[in-house]
Chains A and B, each alone.
Chain A
Amino acid sequence: MVDFVLLHRAALAGARSGAFGTSMPEKRITLEALPEGHVLQVLAGRATGDVTALVASLGDGKAQSVRPVGPGQWFVVGDAVLSTVDMAERKARLSGQGSMADQAHGRVRIAISGTDVEAVLAKGTAVDLNLCEFPAGRSAMTLIGHISALITRTGEHAFEILVLRGFAESLWDELIEMSLEFGVDARPPV
């Protein structure tokens, strides 16, 4: 007997959306909830040696799909939902040199872009996001305010933020507040 029906809904389905803040067309920030496809957490022990190339092969081929988080830790992300077969195939590719688990149910991706996006994120994190120090493809696990998140630069004026599902809506609201001075368009999940 089922006491209640489990509903599958996007973490940001009920989040605030629309246009907020001042109207500065050339500086507007865009906030976008990305598809909850796959977020593979890959871990490898120190004794395994360098598995960077192997982990790189787990990506879906798109730029910045493989994100280093620390020594022996990566997130491999993408828009496609992976079937059991896809997962088994990727696990076979790892050939026992690391462990892998899909965390798409627990971590959410948010895209943020705009000419002044660095100034927005600098309100929340102490990581130096200057393009020279933090080029496209670079990732940093850090705090945005009090929320732990992985920041990845995906373009000159674009970042992606990976955050725990339960914190996603709070972070979403904070990012809107942080972007108000430039104006922000918040787009909910499709």
Chain B
Amino acid sequence: MASLIACPHCGPRPKEEFTVRGDAGITRPEPDAGADAWHAYVYLRDNPRGRHREHWHHTSGCRRWLIVERDTVTHAIYSAVDAAATGETA
């Protein structure tokens, strides 16, 4: 896994300072969407090869939620932005 994340608030920091939540592309279903939709939302995840957008929390730094786009094959980091800046709740 990539070892240095360029936090938009703190600068480059080692991955040990972060907590990974997982896929940032998943949207929460409506409350009455049904068991299948909720099962998929809670339990089912892709295991992509290549570019992947994830929610990362800078737990031991600024404590902000970030969206990190990284490559699961090469470990390259393409971008790291504050989740609030992209209009997502954080």
> A residues bordering B, Cβ < 8 Å?
46, 69-71, 73, 126-128, 140-143, 148
A141-B16 in contact (CB<8A): no
A141-B64 in contact (CB<8A): no
B75: interface (CB < 8 Å): no
Q: Which 10 pairs from chain A and chain B are nearest by CB?
A: A70-B62, A126-B14, A143-B60, A148-B60, A141-B61, A70-B9, A143-B17, A71-B9, A70-B63, A70-B64
A-B contact pairs, 18 of them (CB 8 A): A46-B84, A69-B62, A70-B9, A70-B61, A70-B62, A71-B62, A71-B64, A71-B82, A73-B62, A126-B13, A127-B13, A140-B10, A140-B61, A141-B10, A141-B60, A141-B63, A143-B14, A143-B17
B84-A141 in contact (CB<8A): no
Whole-angstrom distance between the Cβ of B65 and the nearest chain A Cβ? 11
Q: A46-B84, A70-B63, A71-B82 are in contact. Are A142 and B17 (CB under 8 A)?
A: yes
Chain B interface extent, by class:
10 to 19
A contact residues around B62 at 8 Å (CB): 69-71, 73, 141
B contact residues around A140 at 8 Å (CB): 10, 61
> B residues bordering A, Cβ < 8 Å?
9-14, 16-17, 58, 60-64, 82, 84
B63-A73 in contact (CB<8A): yes
- The complex places the Cα of A148 from the Cα of B18 at a distance, in Å, of 12
- The complex places the Cα of A141 from the Cα of B7 at a distance, in Å, of 12
A142-B13 in contact (CB<8A): yes
- The complex places the Cα of A128 from the Cα of B6 at a distance, in Å, of 13
The residue in chain A whose Cβ has the minimal distance to the Cβ of B63 is: A70
- The complex places the Cα of A70 from the Cα of B63 at a distance, in Å, of 7
A contact residues around B61 at 8 Å (CB): 70, 140-142
Whole-angstrom distance between the Cβ of A44 and the nearest chain B Cβ? 14
B contact residues around A71 at 8 Å (CB): 9, 62, 64, 82
- The complex places the Cα of A171 from the Cα of B11 at a distance, in Å, of 24
A contact residues around B64 at 8 Å (CB): 70-71
B contact residues around A46 at 8 Å (CB): 84
- The complex places the Cα of A142 from the Cα of B16 at a distance, in Å, of 10
4 more contacts with CB within 8 A, not counting A126-B12, A142-B61, are A140-B10, A141-B62, A142-B17, A142-B60
- The complex places the Cα of A142 from the Cα of B9 at a distance, in Å, of 12
The residue in chain A whose Cβ has the minimal distance to the Cβ of B10 is: A140
Residue with the greatest number of chain A CB neighbours at <10 A, chosen from B13, B58, B82: B13
- The complex places the Cα of A46 from the Cα of B16 at a distance, in Å, of 27
A contact residues around B82 at 8 Å (CB): 71
- The complex places the Cα of A45 from the Cα of B27 at a distance, in Å, of 25
